[in-house]
Structure 1
Amino acid sequence: MTHDHDALLSLFDHEMRERARPDGPGVRVERTADVVRQVGAASDWNGVVWSAPDLDAVRADAAIAAQVERFTELGLAEFEWKLYAHDRPADLGQRLRAAGFVAEEPETLLVAPVADLPTTVELPEGVRLRTVTDAADVELMARAHERAFGSDWSRLRHQVLARLTEAPDSFVGVLAMVGDEPVSSARMELYPGTGFAGLWGGGTVEPWRGKGIYRALVAFRAAIATERGYTYLQVDATEQSRPILQRLGFTALSTTTPYVYRRTA
């Protein structure tokens, strides 16, 4: 286990990006000399997860054009190039925009050794946590997410249901409940053979924010990651969650920006 910033970033790039595994049933990873990409159905996440660290300007433009061609021939209306701040060439983002990609909000890549994180769950009165076990629970996750973030959860609903039914050992879903009402939801994706598990979600509905539910969800999942032998937890954090996670022991390694290509015809 390492705490060194550069060594940890290098490990993440190698294990989670260059050696990426399919993130769910029915998807596959394709590798070329200069990129690693994931492809699946329209309801899956499709995109580029890694590009060669020695990518130069000429090869970058060729790689971008090749990805547009590949995803177009697959009949997909959109795909994402997941760009990290340390990726090369330094102007790769500009080259993606010139090719028709649109940059969305950047997030901070945070990583923490599981052993350094709190695992004691402390909840406000009236709130309880429970794991997601069936399709009805997934609907509760969707309700909490849509209320917390104001965004549609239909694509994630498909992905979570597929994980829960076809690869349950690679997924942990958790709900924060007040009575029969979900007030927060989160999930953890497990990547066997990497030492990493990823934290996702964690949105809390407005009346229950600032009461420690988000921290409790992190501790709950950290305890499970510990039990299952994972070494690191990884988060792509928004600016709302980043300060909380850093106070809990996460370290910022880089930033990541989704560059999305959408076909217009």
Structure 2
Amino acid sequence: MDHSAVLALFDRDMRESARPDAPGSRVERVGRVVRLVGADKGWSGVLWSDLDEASADAAIAEQVRFFSRLGGEFEWKLYGHDRPVDLGQRLRAAGFTAEPEETLMIAELSDLALDAEPPEGVRLLPVTDRAGVDLVADVHERAFGIDGTRLRHQLLAQLTGDSDTVVAVVALAGDVPVSAARMELLPGARFAGLWGGGTVEEWRGRGIYRALVAHRARVAADRGYRYVQVDASSQSRPILARLGFQALTTTTPYVYQP
């Protein structure tokens, strides 16, 4: 993989030319910033920027004013190659809080090992309705220790809107949900996004996460996507590397609470 070329394509395809991720959300370009405004408690934030030392502080202040008027928190999604080089420091100075850094990992689907299956006694269930969404949110809360309300709203809106733009799956041990994940498939994009892969603690290390990645990647390949991308934690990065993903840059969520 030509890392520089693929990263430049990702920036153009998924950030600068971003598309709404759910019914009612909208993407806006304001000066040298591209932002997504979520609908009904959905995720909102800055996806891309083309700033320098002279323009960064004013652009940050403008986004703070805009999203504060809307009344909810928002995220500035900062990548390791974004400019200016001190953009993270400027965000912190403006009142943002940095969350743990992740690694942007990308794979060309033709290069991936997609034969991973769940362990014995575990089955994968496609999510198509509210009951399935509740299972995904339950796993999310148990695996990550955070509230799943926003995920419930977003995933249900996606499934009841244009269901072709999202694939969600839950892993069941018997009837107990033990792992879950989703994938976003935006029309016209070349990258399918893998999100929210999490396994409850007592079921980790058994190959379930790997099976969920392979399952979603097979769906993406069948639908004609060329690449899959993940914002990988330190725990998932080694698994993804063994499957064939490559690290291209870092990404850090900077969150602002009005």
* TM-score normalized with structure 1 length: 0.95
Q: Deviations over 1:23-43 (max 9, x none)?
A: 111110010221000113461
- For 1:232 and 1:117, how far apart are their aligned partners in 2? 10
- How far does residue 130 in structure 1 lie from its aligned partner after superposition? 1.4
User: Are the equivalent residues in 1 in contact too, given 2:192–2:225 (CA < 8 A)?
Assistant: yes
SS of the residue 1:57 aligns to: coil
Calculate the aligned-residue CA RMSD, in Å.
1.1
Residue of structure 2 equivalent to 1:12: 10
SS of the residue 1:88 aligns to: coil
Within the candidate set 233, 238, 252, 1:238 is matched to: 233
Q: Deviations over 1:225-256 (max 9, x none)?
A: 11100000000011110111011111111111
Residue of structure 2 equivalent to 1:205: 200
Residue of structure 1 equivalent to 2:96: 101
- For 2:55 and 2:105, how far apart are their aligned partners in 1? 29
- For 2:149 and 2:208, how far apart are their aligned partners in 1? 24
Residue of structure 1 equivalent to 2:19: 21
Q: Which amino acid aligns with 2:246?
A: T
Deviates more, 1:205-214 or 1:40-49: 40-49
- For 1:84 and 1:120, how far apart are their aligned partners in 2? 31
SS of the residue 2:55 aligns to: helix
Runs of 4+ in 1 over 6 A off after TM superposition: none
- For 1:118 and 1:167, how far apart are their aligned partners in 2? 29
Residue of structure 1 equivalent to 2:173: 178
Deviates more, 1:202-211 or 1:7-16: 202-211
Q: Which amino acid aligns with 2:214?
A: A
- For 1:114 and 1:166, how far apart are their aligned partners in 2? 27
Is residue 83 from structure 1 mapped to residue 98 from structure 2 by the alignment? Answer: no
User: Are the equivalent residues in 1 in contact too, given 2:181–2:212 (CA < 8 A)?
Assistant: yes
Q: Quick one: structure 1 residues 205 and 40, their matched pair in 2 at CA, closer, same or farther if it must change by over 3 Å?
A: closer
Q: Which amino acid aligns with 2:109?
A: V
- How far does residue 258 in structure 1 lie from its aligned partner after superposition? 0.7
- How far does residue 57 in structure 1 lie from its aligned partner after superposition? 1.2
- For 2:188 and 2:40, how far apart are their aligned partners in 1? 27
- How far does residue 145 in structure 1 lie from its aligned partner after superposition? 1.5
- For 1:213 and 1:121, how far apart are their aligned partners in 2? 9
- How far does residue 143 in structure 1 lie from its aligned partner after superposition? 1.4
User: Are the equivalent residues in 1 in contact too, given 2:23–2:39 (CA < 8 A)?
Assistant: no
Residue of structure 2 equivalent to 1:51: 49
SS of the residue 1:11 aligns to: helix
- How far does residue 84 in structure 1 lie from its aligned partner after superposition? 0.5
- For 2:152 and 2:117, how far apart are their aligned partners in 1? 28
Within the candidate set 152, 157, 163, 2:152 is matched to: 157
Within the candidate set 35, 38, 41, 2:36 is matched to: 38
- For 1:14 and 1:252, how far apart are their aligned partners in 2? 18
User: Are the equivalent residues in 1 in contact too, given 2:47–2:76 (CA < 8 A)?
Assistant: yes
- How far does residue 194 in structure 1 lie from its aligned partner after superposition? 1.4
Residue of structure 2 equivalent to 1:256: 251
* TM-score normalized with structure 2 length: 0.97
- How far does residue 76 in structure 1 lie from its aligned partner after superposition? 2.2
Deviates more, 1:36-45 or 1:23-32: 36-45
- For 1:58 and 1:202, how far apart are their aligned partners in 2? 39
Within the candidate set 128, 132, 148, 1:133 is matched to: 128
- For 2:163 and 2:116, how far apart are their aligned partners in 1? 23
- For 2:62 and 2:142, how far apart are their aligned partners in 1? 39
Residue of structure 2 equivalent to 1:193: 188
Q: Which amino acid aligns with 1:132?
A: V
User: Are the equivalent residues in 2 in contact too, given 1:106–1:255 (CA < 8 A)?
Assistant: yes
- For 2:12 and 2:38, how far apart are their aligned partners in 1? 22
SS of the residue 2:19 aligns to: coil
Aligned-pair identity in percent equals 66
Q: Which amino acid aligns with 1:220?
A: H
